[in-house]
Structure 1
């Protein structure tokens, strides 16, 4: 039997089912937020984890998951981020969306594509660039942002937060333009 990929950092997930899915895919420790109203005790655990081993935020690709990610990232700088597409987080049958529904392969791929949050980086991608690229204000903007998030491995974000996310992960103008070109030409996502 093949040995599981080992993750040094502690992975922050939303609940027990997410921990179970992570442990099926990789060898890792987790901290569970138990929902979007993260208590001070959990925040202190995450802060200690960040100081000692590092943290990977791996929340569901939905509004509550993004809220949890944002709350933690604001209070504990320097976290790494793993993202799943909504498609990978949907169950085969039934409803819902979450890390717990992802296949071990999708979880491993997300963890291998982890993004590191950087401070003090000023992106040269302007708000006007986002409008011109059809990522804000157009009829297909949401779909284009979803595809951009997959291509750049930064997850989905709404139009208001997109420029901040590009800056947070230090996405270069060259990488941004290459991704926009792939969206325009219908290139394949890895």
Structure 2
């Protein structure tokens, strides 16, 4: 599987994992202090081939994703569910620990962030769905993020991502229904 876009990852181990799964070029941020030089390379990559941001499903990875997306808008975003990125001994979380299949699926499902949502989902919708402020809110957000392929986030970030990725009311309702059905089983 050949990827046209250049994939932004955190480090060398991520690059190794990506190259095991697909034929692609990467740019490594080398941690969460993304330098101006790295941002300039990412901007050039975006202009010439396009960019997919593919960071770890943890706080530093989300921080890097935010920094890059703010400096280089209109990138594609690939997300791994946390459970697919955990090291076998359970000590680490990252792209480098994901299976070839999980990496390929995340890259295949990469989405472009749009500026405005077609149908806006309200914060009240999230409260009503038990995604904010309820006893199972965190677990529901995690499962919903996996189903929608937008990653895990807190309630405030969930709202922003639903809007950024233009998740429609229909997509939201379908994914939420699946999450709620899984809770019953």
TM-score (norm 1): 0.94
- The answer to whether the 8 Å contact 1:11/1:29 transfers is yes
- The answer to whether the 8 Å contact 1:123/1:166 transfers is no
Alignment of 1:1-190 (within 5 A): 5-121=1-117, 123-186=119-182
Whole-angstrom CA distance in 2 between matches of 1:186 and 1:88? 18
Aligned-residue offset at 1:121 = 2.8
- The answer to whether the 8 Å contact 2:76/2:110 transfers is yes
Whole-angstrom CA distance in 1 between matches of 2:19 and 2:180? 38
Give the count of matched residue pairs.
Answer: 183
Say what the alpha-carbon RMSD is for the aligned residues: 1.1
SS at match of 2:158: helix
Q: Greater helix percent: which structure?
A: 2
Aligned-residue offset at 1:124 = 1.9
Aligned-residue offset at 1:123 = 3.9
Q: Which moved more, 1:13-22 or 1:176-185?
A: 176-185
Unaligned runs of at least 5 residues, structure 2:
none
SS at match of 1:56: strand
Whole-angstrom CA distance in 2 between matches of 1:148 and 1:182? 9
- The answer to whether the 8 Å contact 1:56/1:82 transfers is yes
Aligned-residue offset at 1:120 = 3.0
Unaligned runs of at least 5 residues, structure 1:
none
Whole-angstrom CA distance in 2 between matches of 1:50 and 1:141? 36
Aligned-residue offset at 1:94 = 4.7
- The answer to whether the 8 Å contact 2:7/2:24 transfers is yes
SS at match of 1:12: strand
Whole-angstrom CA distance in 2 between matches of 1:121 and 1:183? 23
